[in-house]
Structure 1
Amino acid sequence: MHASIERAGLAEKIIMAGYRWDTPDVYAACDMVVIASLHTEASPIVLREAFASGRPVIATKVGDIPEIIEHRQNGLLVEPGDIKALAAAILEFLSDPKLAAACAAKGLRYASEHFSFDRMMEAKLQVDASLIPARKTRLLPTSVSVEPVSSVETADLSSRQR
């Protein structure tokens, strides 16, 4: 990736930051977020973070991304590996700030509706509930019988040393 960026003469324009702890600051410094995955992505965290940061998103049509991003509504979608389409999408956001801002606003709204703590906990509880079998009214097997206790003896512990 780094070599391709160098060959294209883009080393001064593209930052490959690696893992960062200060992601809110990083997103705030971005004009847009590009998720150029070539293979399956379930539901990438970077997409959630980008939406929550209010940044416009361009992503490839892999995994669950097309179920989250509606093309030209809350982001732009391109085919994986289509470099020309990816470049065109980047240029589209740069040349149409109104579209970029509208997609960013809708992405932020999507994040607040789908990725809030309460919403995520609600979804987790629904999954948990679906995995727990319905509780039966009788917890003991029918073959177990318990005899009632007729009397209880108590011990005199007053002389016991402490």
Structure 2
Amino acid sequence: CDVGAHKMWMARMFRCEYPNTCIISNGFASMGIAVPGAIAAKLVHPERNVVAVTGDAGFMMNSQEIETAIRCKLPIVILIWNDSSYGLIEWKQMNQFQRTSNVRFSNPDFVTYAEAFGAKGYRVESTADLPTILKEALANDTVSIIDCPVDYRENIKLTEQMGTLVCPT
């Protein structure tokens, strides 16, 4: 899992069934680790399904590695949480300042982008579609890229749900 607002959702909501099956870049980690990390995971464990969870900005930082996965015949799934922003920074700015500055950007059409590399591309049109698309993508014998639009306003709801996290003294 890459760095970004989606990481907070994964860390709070994704339940790992087995040790060392959910790897999350943390601390002072840089964006862009998800795709190369998924490639490495698939090379080490070719028998396992591998899903890279990334935001749109983190994905674009190393998206050229789709070529590596295609060339090496590594069927990984890349799930892009697409909010057209630096979502974690936007989340922080909204929490602290009740406004944002310079966090929004535009993206390419990720389905077309996937197909340009010879990968399969999917776009989630509604939340109900995600399980079916993910199941199909995991069954593919090539790289699959899923463009999943998200609404950053849900991050504020997660903040309210989590509350303030403090270390005991």
TM-score by length of 2: 0.28
Q: Which has the larger radius of gyration?
A: 1
More strand by share: 2
Higher relative contact order (CA 8 A, sep 6+): 2
TM-score by length of 1: 0.29
